[in-house]
Amino acid sequence: MKNKYVSPILENIRNYNFNGDMELAGKYALDYINSVNSMRVYPSDEDIAALSVFDIPLGDEPTPNAEILDKLHNYGSKATVAQTGPRYFGFVCGGILPSSLSAKWLMDAWDQNPAMFVMSPIAGKIEEICEKWLVELLNLPKGTAAGFVSGSSTAINCALLAGRNHILKNLGYNVSAAGLNDAPKIKVVLSEGAHSTVFKALSIIGLGQENLIKVPMDEQGCICADKIPELDKSTLLLLQAGNVNSGGFDDFKSICKKANEAGAWVHVDGAFGLWAAASEEFAHLTEGMEYADSWSMDAHKTLNAPYDNGVVLCKHRDSLVNAMHMTGGYIQITEGNRDSMMYTMEMSRRARALDIWATLMGLGKRGLSELVKELHTKAVYFADELKSIGLSVLNDVVFNQVIVRYEDDEKTKKLIDAIQKSGVLWLGPSSWQGNAVMRVSVCSYKTTYEDIDICVKEIKRLKEQI
């Protein structure tokens, strides 16, 4: 007789009625959504201290679902940072548009893994559609491939791996088979102001940091085109669409032309700035970007899709697939359909492209263009108001980033600390041209001019106390 053990706990779970819990979860979620605009942007010390309620040993028996939800809402909600509210200007986080948030609830119930088409036809189809839309919106070459990853940090890894392998192949070396030990040397050229994730990615893929050629940047954070060294087919060149501090865009048109003639691989890091290409008014910032070989971006920044949503884009589809693909006897590839694991490092992951699809559907082309314009306009307004209360703005506001300084390093750091403790708004510190500064990132569709006025009033009050 076969052993047919059945767990009493799992049997109860299998027969569970979700209705009450889902209603409670929905109630708590709506409570949060309806209060996030007015709550403290950063939790109070008391609310953070109250998180000690979670410091308990795991019990032997299951905890009722309602009790789990109660604890998360009553303690967890109060200890969140209001990144989806209107007065968060720290990291470039963006908000969550209604179309994507409501769709995400449904898609979370689906819980699809998009690795292969046979695992989720709907996820495969939506990724195919999103790839097409993004290529059109960003004016990229037809046939450009897209992989949907957790964020631009991962997207950069995917793109640079594709670029590394492509360069080595053109030099007559198969790195996938032979490894890096005897590989020809790759010349890596990038701005001294490149984002930290770029340096991390280069280290991860085995290109290190000691042998990089760092090109000076100008006063606006753009790479100095005339200082870029001679390029050749062994070169991996990295450019920026939106400097992390200033929002500055490199001169893609002239630099990419030079790189193309030399046979170099060009990658554009455009975490938040690449979306400028989708706006007729701001597309000039990305002119010539289409001549690059790969691009990385986030949808959870400027687009205001939910976390986590990054995209790697690659003009050479075969190069991206060859760098990312995997095989196995259990893997079922379907001809003519999209098997998403071929474009990313991950096999098991959530179907995040569904978030991007819902966000784009909820905006349309015109809505996306207006979102880019409004974020820029509000950043300019914020900068002007900060100037009016005696602060210095150190950059030309070309997109959504504002670099601010209060007289000297000490006063700037004190002001940042006071702002972060106020709960009225949140912004973070950075370093610019060797000076301490505060970085203002205007990236949420929820931010109004009234919100900016409230923030400036509070900053002025805190400044006068220093």
pLDDT at 329: 80
Neighbouring-strand partners of residue 328:
none
pLDDT at 326: 78
Q: Is the pLDDT of residue 1 over 80?
A: no
Q: Is the pLDDT of residue 110 over 70?
A: yes
pLDDT at 2: 77
pLDDT at 331: 80
User: What gap in Å lies between CA 268 and CA 144, rounded to an integer?
Assistant: 14
pLDDT at 403: 98
Instruction: Write down the residue that tokens 């280069």 correspond to.
Output: 202
Do 276 and 96 contact (CB within 8 A), yes or no? no
Band (pLDDT 50/70/90 cuts) for residue 266 is very high
User: What gap in Å lies between CA 272 and CA 231, rounded to an integer?
Assistant: 27
Q: Please report how many Cα atoms fall inside a 13 Å half-sphere around the Cα of residue 224, on the Cβ side.
A: 11
pLDDT at 397: 98
Query: pLDDT digits over 304-360, tens only?
Result: 999 999 999 999 999 999 999 877 888 888 888 999 999 999 999 999 999 999 999
Query: pLDDT digits over 134-171, tens only?
Result: 999 999 999 999 999 999 999 999 999 999 999 999 99
Q: 9-26: string of b/e by CB count within 10 Å (b at 16+)?
A: eeeeeeeeeeeeeeeebe
pLDDT at 333: 82
User: What gap in Å lies between CA 420 and CA 42, rounded to an integer?
Assistant: 7
Sequence-separated (6 or more) residues with CB below 8 Å from residue 223:
190, 191, 193, 215, 216, 217, 239, 240, 250, 251, 255
Determine the angle formed by the axes of helices 449-465 and 353-388, rounding to 10 degrees: 50
Residues 415-440, mean pLDDT to the nearest whole number: 97
Q: Is the pLDDT of residue 132 over 80?
A: yes
pTM of the model: 0.95
224: tokens are 């100095």
Q: Is the pLDDT of residue 381 over 80?
A: yes
